[in-house]
Chain A
């Protein structure tokens, strides 16, 4: 590794990808909303935010009312406004696309309203009188926080346990730095907890410090939102070499340090993968000063999980994306210095190597080939799994009637912050119904 000095690119890590709208910009943008009947954007939002209403409230100079509309459906509306791939959600179906291929900037407007309200430090909600019921929420990611907030609102007392040192889940440890600047994840966490009635215990892990059976004993209901704790392994020759790193872990370190010098990825970086994590790792590596950054994805571009918008973001930040390339071996002497990749053909009934290979020089190889659910912590309590994750019904209740689950750890999870929020919210509603029945 070259230990390059901090460069100007590092400043980009601390700069909003999209600058927040000024009051004037928000007024102009809000005016573009047509207040559609049965608006397609509402259907597209996993948390069912009444988007035309909150935009109209901005337009009429009522940002507090606007924020209340958003938070009523999505208490993490501030984070979602920053991280949602709106180009494949609400903004994708905005009728303005039909009109002039330029959707209303819903995400940015949502940020405008939620920033306004969060700056006051006040929540637009009042907690109900205590019910005396106790719920344990395992995991303080978006799913756990949304669940805890809704339960607290109804007057239940909530304990969140999380094995990490800080709360927030991937909001704190995973989301790209430039999407959540100025410590937003921890500010939002505090804002959510300010509803009262929620105790957050960090450094407490399910499986090691507490078993599910214990939690069921101690609480009236349990919600599991522990995300995906392990990563898919690529067993390649050379993957043990220094400089071969897990992308999620790299981002977690990046998010937690102020001193980027220890994280320098070197001049040449290859990222293996095709999703949001691959893009985030590649772009942040560029910002840290890497000169050549390549994303190598084994299938065709149409199969990439990263949206068109994310791909363009990577490309405009100088990342090159190469498709139909699968890793074969990593080479180096103690530390990685190159990676060999093979061209592929995706015939439809399987991916096959063509035999033709290419060698790319690399100081760091990031693996971003997906995360996996670790069912270790569930030991001792039999919960049905499906597709390797926890099986739940429409209300997010697991096969054990006292246990609910949501977010990335459930089967059918979309691996999106906003989807995790919806899971937590639905589970809380179901828990509330069952506790008050």
Chain B
């Protein structure tokens, strides 16, 4: 059985699945239940200064559903903890004492003054928690007060606050990044420069999830008005994966540990984050959708896959896909692929034909010998993968490499050598 134990910047946990700082980690009651269910660690719901903030007393969430109402994306306008600081600190201390083998990290968000951060670090250190996570991510409510993503969007502030925290405590410091920024490498580099032990990402994406067309107001609607919130859940996973990869392959931050967050719903999602360079993962929406029991699927799914592939421990998968992320200009333009339709599994819905015909390259037949029959016309197929993407049957259409011979579309022989855009004759700046 694969070994799932995780050592993230010196913080140990029995598995790499932590609950992200959010409602599931807001109180001892929830965290105890999470640990009983088997979660490896938690990042406690973000603490702030007293007097504690208040939340709205109406709906906080909006959702995007699939048609059978599976939750695809969740949006929230919740703020950081709305309980007094001391209650949280007391509970953290007790929970850590009761669960010494689990990771317990405390999320923090206070105004940008060194004295305030210093005082906060000292109080957290007293609880015996394993580390802190600096919440520079929330896109709503707190940012208007100069905290959360208002800090996360200014690399200089990130570096400054990170440095204060490192100088005033011996605890590991994780900096949680906001995705509401054009290039994620800048805040990551700033955290690194400030001495952060790790970054975690992503926090939620600024969003309006839907509009109530009767009230003519965004949802969730509070007394006729709505404001933007933070988007999370399966829909944000592609955004998060890219940002993790950007940091993992940036020369300046390549060695900076990453806690991957964003839309992780099943073991496969987690494995993808790990492969792209995350040292562990955090989960929020999936737990808020299905409850804590999903941890059983996450751990058993990951372990079974690792066993099947012969990965003994997490180190043998973390970052394994990172070297294969490159820039478009370095992709091999001499690689030729054509779509192939497996006629045995084809159910003849015809969607591949109509999308290729209407919106792409007219490369799939509609009829052959007068019969409904869908087949790729190699002379026209550019290998774009659209048909594969829209086909309702898994593995019915596949992209097959054309390794030799002549590409019937271009009438050019297949060039077996690697050749990219920087070397291409059509590139005015070509080096070839």
Contacts and interface: CB of A to CB of B under 8 A. Distances in A.
Contacts of A21: none
B347 A28 contact: no
A31 B66 contact: yes
Interface in A9-33: 24, 27-28, 30-31
Given A38-B366, A99-B393, A59 B67 contact: yes
A95 B349 contact: yes
Interface string A265-295: 0000000000000000000000000000000
Contacts of B372: 38, 40
Nearest to B396: A99
A37 B66 contact: no
A95 B348 contact: yes
Contacts of B67: 27-28, 30-31, 59
A217 interface: no
B429 to A, nearest CB: 43
Q: How large is the interface on A (under 10, 10 to 19, 20 to 34, 35 or more residues)?
A: 10 to 19
| Secondary structure dominating the interface of B | loop
Contacts of B392: 34, 99
Given A27-B67, A27-B68, A34-B349, 16 more contacts: A27-B69, A28-B67, A28-B68, A30-B67, A34-B392, A36-B349, A36-B350, A36-B351, A37-B351, A37-B353, A37-B366, A38-B354, A38-B372, A40-B372, A95-B348, A98-B347
Interface string B340-366: 000000111111011000000000001
9 contacts: A27-B67, A34-B349, A34-B351, A36-B350, A37-B349, A37-B366, A59-B67, A95-B347, A98-B348
Contact of B68 (A31, A35, A37, A96): A31
Contacts of B354: 37-38
Contacts of A40: 348, 372
B348 A35 contact: no
Interface string A75-106: 00000000000000000000110110000000
A95 B392 CA distance: 11
Nearest to B357: A37
Contact of B347 (A31, A38, A99): A99
A40 B372 CA distance: 10
Most buried by B among A27, A30, A36: A36
Contacts of B346: 98
A27 B67 CA distance: 6
Nearest to B66: A31
Given A99-B392, A99-B393, A38 B68 contact: no
Interface in B300-355: 346-351, 353-354
A40 B366 CA distance: 13
A34 to B, nearest CB: 5
Interface string B49-93: 000000000000000001111000000000000000000000000
